[in-house]
Amino acid sequence: MKRFWAIALTSSLVVLAGCHSFKKENVEPPTPLDKKFVPTVKVERLWKSSIGDGAAESGVRMRPVVSDGVLYAASTDGKIAAFEATTGKKLWSKSIRQHGWFGWGDDKREDARFSGGPGASGDLVAIGTLDGHLYGINAKDGERRWAAEVSSEVITAPVIVGDVVVVRCNDGRVYGIDAASGERRWAYDQAVVPLLSLRGNGRLLVANGVVFMGTDAGKLTAIRLDNGEKLWEQTLATGEGRTEIDRLSDADGALVLDGATLYGAAYHGQLTAIDGPSGRPLWNHGFSTFTSLEVHENSIYGVDDESQVFAFDKSSGANIWKLADLKYRWLTGPAAQGKYAVVGDLDGHIHWIDGSNGKIVARERLSSKAIRSQPVVVGDIVYVEDVEGHIGAYRIPTN
């Protein structure tokens, strides 16, 4: 309970921003958008749809996933659907409010409050809930295959690798679940979860038989995929400061892997490059963020805790450029769409930024609602979802 209230209080800055309430002295108003802005790049919206209530008031980052040409999305009010990724045509949809979808009676309908977004691979979709469950769903028709109980709410998407589903819980535990049966293979229990924490978990990164994750204690941890044994750990933030707020050190953004090098960052911490096989730090650069990073060519894109967008040199961490025009607009983590970085903001705007110089080149509006989850890029299309479940697909036409 103490941890719950700590999370609720310390995440209030972001929540206030999302609700457009800036009367508190400690919450900065968002930078107004330039009304005279003229786009220099044309963006085409391919389609727009929606999924239930989206993340609603849960505070989680609901993010769609694309697999084999199909986009899967879910909402906290118990809806999950599949769309043709290029056209937006709905292929199937399911809702727990339909009696018997999970084989339960009316008194169980509220159990599957989906959260964090789905993971997908092959013919399996996996998704967790705010009630501490994980479901395996048939990718072709949305029918349930199995259910597994985990230790607490799941607020980030599971990752399916071969015959294992890896899922992270908000209490710091990570589970390896058999993809065919839903049975537990292993569990990793994080030693210490701070009492004070931001609301969020970074997505798991799985590569070369290793699961990488950032922790609420500001660590980058590597564990074995086959048995959950910890291999190594490195510090992204030290958790130092005069107040409890100053000592927050969550690594809530997704890690990125480029070749054999991992890049991670944390709130009140550093952007750090780490040799993946050994866990040896290569360089670090002061950088505070609670969103995900992106790597494109020779650059690392990141958004700091004031919503300034940066590009860093991936070999040294040196600054390439900084964009302050969107300060305090509570941006998502950036995604790379070709030579552009794409971010969403608190008013439903999507911004395209030239990766070579940090200039905004295009802007579209998905809705009037906040976009909190990092956009998803597959091929030449970027997919964006807001907190109320509106989803848009955008492409930059080529001449």
Within a domain: residue 258?
A: no
Q: Are 391 and 384 in contact (CB under 8 A)?
A: yes
pLDDT for the residue 241: 52
Tokens, residue 332: 């998502």
Q: Give me the CATH number covering residue 167.
A: 2.130.10.10
pLDDT digits (tens, 9 = 90+) for 127-138: 999 999 999 999
Query: What residues contact 72, with CB distance under 8 A and at least 6 apart?
Result: 64, 65, 66, 80, 81, 82, 83, 118, 120, 125, 139
Rounded to the nearest 5 percent, the helix, strand and coil shares of the chain are 5, 40, 55
Within a domain: residue 270?
A: no
Q: Taking the CA atoms of the chain, what radius of gyration do you get in angstroms? A: 20
User: In angstroms, what CA-CA distances link 27 with 15, 112, 326?
Assistant: 11, 34, 15
pLDDT for the residue 203: 83
Residue 386 half-sphere exposure, CB side, CA atoms within 13 Å?
20
Within a domain: residue 335?
A: no
Within a domain: residue 91?
A: yes
* Domains in the chain, number: 1
pLDDT for the residue 193: 61
Within a domain: residue 326?
A: no
pLDDT for the residue 333: 95
Of 103, 165, 93, which Cα lies nearest the Cα of 136? 165
pLDDT for the residue 75: 96
Element (H, E) at 82: strand 79-84
Within a domain: residue 292?
A: no
Q: Are 363 and 384 in contact (CB under 8 A)?
A: no
d(CA 362, CA 6): 38
- The per-residue DSSP string of 317-366 comes to --EEEEE-TTTTS-PPPPEEETTEEEEE-TTSEEEEEETTT--EEEEEES
Task: Give the domain extent around 156.
Answer: 62-199
Question: What's this model's pTM, rounded to 2 decimal places?
Answer: 0.87
pLDDT for the residue 252: 64
pLDDT digits (tens, 9 = 90+) for 58-112: 878 899 999 999 999 999 999 999 999 999 999 999 997 534 444 444 444 445 7
Q: Are 328 and 28 in contact (CB under 8 A)?
A: yes
Within a domain: residue 165?
A: yes
d(CA 356, CA 328): 23
pLDDT for the residue 237: 53
Within a domain: residue 139?
A: yes
Residues of the chain with pLDDT under 50: 1-24, 98-110, 196-198, 246-249, 251
